[in-house]
A and B are shown apart, each in its own frame.
Chain A
């Protein structure tokens, strides 16, 4: 299950950051992607919410350290 979620997340990251070859793992953090800053972060959260049709808890939006932290809420 985590695998397919990660695939969908990867697709969103690739599209969102316009990085068609990027590999996303549960360990990926904002430090790994230059364009992932505080402004794009919120947009990225919106994109994930839309894709998975969920509302992310605020603490996740604010404190998520890596993709793995997000996955369980998606």
Chain B
């Protein structure tokens, strides 16, 4: 993975530790550190070292000290009060530019500084540095909230956890423009790596929970529903608090499951009868209550949910259970939960595997496709140049002949497409398949799948070709409108021409039959370089000479099964 660092301060240590940590994690990270303060300029220069480097991910950092230095240069109070808006504008432009290149960005927010001049009243005063930092951060959040290519690295949270005085150690800023104490660079690197990993793949998302002494205090089988601790006071409060926390994770899209050494009757009873339980039975996707070993139970859960084990997090107060799972299922994340419920939330919150790159509920199975589509749309709107955008999509079309595996989806596409459908003849391609491409079979059917950097679209286009003497006639050509305007049709014509040439065909004929819904493609063949071949009102014919055809520009690359 190639990471470019853009910052207004010295992040050499960050870069160094990042490389080391990535290496020890088994992933390789190549890092470009743009020159201090010049990075932002490089963003706007298309020929800069930044863009020649072509990073996969941009780490964009703005330092609180630099922010404060600039703010404190201002003498005029109203200028001070409007500082963050003006300061933010430059960065917003830079971010837009990076996103228009299709690059992912991880940006830090600003952490507080120890200085204040109005004592405890400082937060009420707009010209205070920390008030301006708050303003900057809210501008930043609203800018990136709906931008899937930009992720936040919550530096403010890290600095608060550590303590703002030690985190922002001004000695190092003075010495060499180091934006935060070198002691804590590793904390920032860790957070960054956790976010970066999400872009590399596996996002863990199933929590397997123990019950007794994890979700409530005591043992339900022994203590009974009136004996376990969960509620509003003392230990019970902490367990209930943990349950509420888990419920919020569930609302975020993480699946909750149970693996408990218990009688299932007791488990059902506990959730039904103990009103203080914040979690209800229906909050769990899968419940295993039995006396078998927990590693086996987790495997069962994984099999049932059809998820790989590296999506699993196991939470249990019992060190022996944790050890067993750790040893038998090393892919599963097993944090050292301990048995003190006051620490549970803190421990789970700190799990890198619970990082997310999106703040919306991520029911991946259902919404992924739509989300990816929205991302593309958005990207397209912001893209400075359509060709850059199309290139950045890294589209790959895999070309197949009709076969048992693709016929159903291809058939459905032909039946359902109305707009991008050249003849609306609803050709029954099952018949072509049934004749099994015999030598007498005059039909040929091409099936196109498309995938891009955002995901797989599946089968998006079908073309049915009939051979007549030395002509190929496109009897049916349908395409899913989801992939319109992405030069897929250009790619397909290139493919058909190749097919013609392979079969020594001297003419490719296109047909357009007007329907109520297909005016979208009334000019398609002309746009693709065909010439009119005569027509009557309803049926227009077009032709193309494959031998003298110059390939049309397309941003889709091909992958062939023949």
For B166, the closest partner residue in chain A by CB is A55
- CB of B13 within 8 A of CB of A43, answer yes
The SS class assigned to the A binding surface is helix
Within 8 Å of chain A (Cβ to Cβ): is B161?
Answer: no
- CB of B178 within 8 A of CB of A46, answer no
Interface residues of B in 172-221 (CB under 8 A from A): 172, 174-176, 178, 181-183
What is the bound-complex CA distance between A42 and B169, given in angstroms? 12
- CB of A42 within 8 A of CB of B174, answer no
Within 8 Å of chain A (Cβ to Cβ): is B416?
Answer: no
Cross-interface CB contact of B171 among A39, A50, A61, cutoff 8 Å? A61
Within 8 Å of chain B (Cβ to Cβ): is A4?
Answer: no
- CB of B13 within 8 A of CB of A39, answer yes
What is the bound-complex CA distance between A42 and B185, given in angstroms? 13
Which chain B residues border A50 with CB–CB below 8 Å? 183
Cross-interface CB contact of B176 among A39, A46, A58, cutoff 8 Å? A39
What is the bound-complex CA distance between A58 and B172, given in angstroms? 9
Cross-interface CB contact of A39 among B12, B174, B183, cutoff 8 Å? B12
Within 8 Å of chain B (Cβ to Cβ): is A62?
Answer: yes
What is the bound-complex CA distance between A61 and B173, given in angstroms? 12
Which chain A residues border B172 with CB–CB below 8 Å? 42
Interface residues of A in 5-41 (CB under 8 A from B): 38-39
Q: How far is the CB of B33 from chain A (nearest CB, A)?
A: 12
What is the bound-complex CA distance between A39 and B532, given in angstroms? 71
The number of residue pairs between A and B whose CB atoms lie closer than 8 Å in the complex comes to 22
Q: How far is the CB of A55 from chain B (nearest CB, A)?
A: 9
Which chain A residues border B171 with CB–CB below 8 Å? 58, 61
- CB of B183 within 8 A of CB of A46, answer yes
- CB of A62 within 8 A of CB of B175, answer yes
For A43, the closest partner residue in chain B by CB is B182
For B183, the closest partner residue in chain A by CB is A46
- CB of A38 within 8 A of CB of B13, answer no
What is the bound-complex CA distance between A43 and B17, given in angstroms? 12
Which chain A residues border B178 with CB–CB below 8 Å? 42
What is the bound-complex CA distance between A18 and B178, given in angstroms? 24
- CB of A46 within 8 A of CB of B175, answer no
What is the bound-complex CA distance between A42 and B176, given in angstroms? 9
The SS class assigned to the B binding surface is helix
What is the bound-complex CA distance between A58 and B393, given in angstroms? 51
What is the bound-complex CA distance between A43 and B175, given in angstroms? 12
What is the bound-complex CA distance between A72 and B510, given in angstroms? 90
Cross-interface CB contact of B174 among A38, A46, A58, cutoff 8 Å? A58
Which chain B residues border A58 with CB–CB below 8 Å? 171, 174-175
What is the bound-complex CA distance between A42 and B16, given in angstroms? 14
What is the bound-complex CA distance between A70 and B411, given in angstroms? 80
Q: How far is the CB of A35 from chain B (nearest CB, A)?
A: 13
Q: How far is the CB of A16 from chain B (nearest CB, A)?
A: 13
Which interface class (under 10, 10 to 19, 20 to 34, 35 or more) fits B? 10 to 19
B421-449 interface bits toward A, Cβ cutoff 8 Å, 1 = contact, 0 = none: 00000000000000000000000000000
What is the bound-complex CA distance between A50 and B181, given in angstroms? 13
For B172, the closest partner residue in chain A by CB is A42
- CB of A61 within 8 A of CB of B175, answer yes
What is the bound-complex CA distance between A42 and B178, given in angstroms? 10
Q: How far is the CB of B181 from chain A (nearest CB, A)?
A: 8
Which chain B residues border A42 with CB–CB below 8 Å? 172, 175-176, 178, 182
Q: How far is the CB of B522 from chain A (nearest CB, A)?
A: 66
Q: How far is the CB of B408 from chain A (nearest CB, A)?
A: 62
Q: How far is the CB of A59 from chain B (nearest CB, A)?
A: 10
- Known contacts A43-B13, A58-B171, A61-B171: A38-B176 contact under CB 8 Å: yes
Which chain A residues border B174 with CB–CB below 8 Å? 58, 62
Which chain A residues border B176 with CB–CB below 8 Å? 38-39, 42
What is the bound-complex CA distance between A39 and B175, given in angstroms? 10
For A49, the closest partner residue in chain B by CB is B183
Q: How far is the CB of B10 from chain A (nearest CB, A)?
A: 8
What is the bound-complex CA distance between A38 and B175, given in angstroms? 9
What is the bound-complex CA distance between A46 and B17, given in angstroms? 15
What is the bound-complex CA distance between A46 and B274, given in angstroms? 53
Q: How far is the CB of A30 from chain B (nearest CB, A)?
A: 14
What is the bound-complex CA distance between A42 and B183, given in angstroms? 10
Which chain B residues border A61 with CB–CB below 8 Å? 171, 175
Which chain A residues border B183 with CB–CB below 8 Å? 46, 50
For B170, the closest partner residue in chain A by CB is A58
Interface residues of B in 279-293 (CB under 8 A from A): none
Scoring B171, B175, B176, B178 by chain A CB atoms within 10 A of each residue's CB, the highest score goes to B171
Cross-interface CB contact of B182 among A38, A46, A62, cutoff 8 Å? A46
What is the bound-complex CA distance between A42 and B12, given in angstroms? 12
What is the bound-complex CA distance between A55 and B500, given in angstroms? 79
For B174, the closest partner residue in chain A by CB is A58
Which chain A residues border B12 with CB–CB below 8 Å? 39
What is the bound-complex CA distance between A46 and B184, given in angstroms? 11
Q: How far is the CB of A1 from chain B (nearest CB, A)?
A: 26
Q: How far is the CB of B64 from chain A (nearest CB, A)?
A: 18
Q: How far is the CB of A70 from chain B (nearest CB, A)?
A: 15
For B12, the closest partner residue in chain A by CB is A39
Q: How far is the CB of B484 from chain A (nearest CB, A)?
A: 52
What is the bound-complex CA distance between A44 and B331, given in angstroms? 38
What is the bound-complex CA distance between A18 and B163, given in angstroms? 31
A interface, CB within 8 angstroms of B? 38-39, 42-43, 46, 50, 58, 61-62
> Mind listing 7 A-B residue pairs with CB under 8 Å?
A39-B12, A42-B182, A43-B182, A46-B182, A58-B175, A61-B175, A62-B174
* In the A-B complex, the 9 residue pairs with the closest CB atoms: A58-B171, A46-B182, A39-B12, A42-B182, A46-B183, A43-B182, A42-B172, A61-B171, A62-B175
- Seed contacts A38-B176, A42-B175, A61-B175; 7 additional CB < 8 Å A-B pairs: A42-B172, A42-B178, A42-B182, A46-B182, A58-B171, A58-B174, A62-B175
